[in-house]
Every structure is written in C-alpha cells, then in structure tokens.
Copies of this chain bind each other. A is one copy, B any other.
C-alpha cells in the first residue's frame, strides 16, 4: 500500500499541484476583479490583491508578470468570456434587432444580479477603447450587420455603437444607484427598447421585440 502510494505519488501530486495552481490563479483573478472594480487599476497594489486572495505575495509572479498582466486577464474574463457566451446563445437568431435586444437585456440583467461585474463593465467600457475588442467589437459588428441588411436605419455605425454602449452603461449605472423616485422595473427590457429605437426601429416594433421571451 505504502509502496504503491509512493510509486504513484508523483503522478498524483502533479494533478494536485496543477489544480492548486489553477485555484490560486482563480483566487487572484477574483480578488483583482473585486479590487479593481472598486478602486480602479491604478489604486490597487499587488500585495492588496494577494492579501485579498489569501495567497503569498511571491506566488503572484508564478501566475502574472505584472499588475497590467492580471488586469488584462480580468478584462478578458469580463468581456471576452461574456461575449463568447452571448455569441453561442444567439448563434441561431438571424434578426439583428433581436440579437441586439437579447444582448442588451442579458448584459443589463447580469449587471443587476452581479453589481461588481456591472461596476467593472462601466469602468472598463466607458473609455470606448472596447470598440476594438470583446464585447465592444461585437456590438459594432452587430450594429453594422443590421445596417447592411437595412434593418437599422442609421448610417453612422460608429455613433450607433457609441449610443448603444453609452445607453447600456448608463442603464447599468442606474441599476447600481438608488434613484428613489425613478422605477427601475423591467430595466433590461426598457433599455433594449430605447436602444432599438436609437437604431431606427419605430417605438411599437422596438417595444415588441424588447419584450419577447428571452433565450437563455
């Protein structure tokens, strides 16, 4: 028994070590997401991340070269993974209006359910550099598709992208703020409706599409 265990030791240890490494990486990413969403990239020190993740300071560098590297990994996890998930979910939806509507609703709803995720999206998304990657590039692509097939009646694809992104981010901000005298009921659907109108659909069509049952 002891001998067998010893013989198999290295191969048993290896996966355990790999698993532990993955877990440490996940802890570091989760802590970095939380701290950076709260304070912004510049205000977060590496030792704060390792302390919040409850791992040794030195082990940070087994996983990431620098603060910028973990930041980029966090950004990727926020934008790329979510965008990929939406792409998979909506692969069979062919109306660009419905694709945009569902994307907007899922995005606002996730921010309502996970406020930290929402805060991070606002902080990272507002500088609009996201137009070149992940979720932002995807919004621009979907807007352009709708313009190309004549579904969206706004020829200025870039400004449409800016308006859609700005409206979604502002809606997320509303979800994260207590604005006593304004109701945020059905916020995801109302956001989708105003976005579709921005893209040139009339009010009735926009409201109808924004309230369709949601694939999830």
Contact = CB atoms under 8 A, between A and B. Distances in A.
A191 interface: yes
Classify chain A: how many residues form its interface, as a range: 35 or more
Contact of A154 (B131, B132, B191, B203): B203
* Copies held by the complex: 2
B194 A163 contact: yes
Given A128-B174, A171-B166, A194 B198 contact: yes
A94 interface: no
A155 interface: yes
21 contacts: A122-B126, A126-B126, A126-B173, A127-B173, A128-B177, A131-B179, A131-B182, A132-B181, A153-B202, A154-B197, A156-B190, A159-B191, A160-B194, A162-B167, A162-B174, A163-B198, A166-B166, A166-B170, A167-B198, A194-B198, A200-B202
Interface of A: 40, 43, 122, 126-129, 131-132, 153-156, 158-160, 162-163, 165-171, 173-174, 176-177, 179, 181-183, 190-191, 193-195, 197-198, 200, 202-203
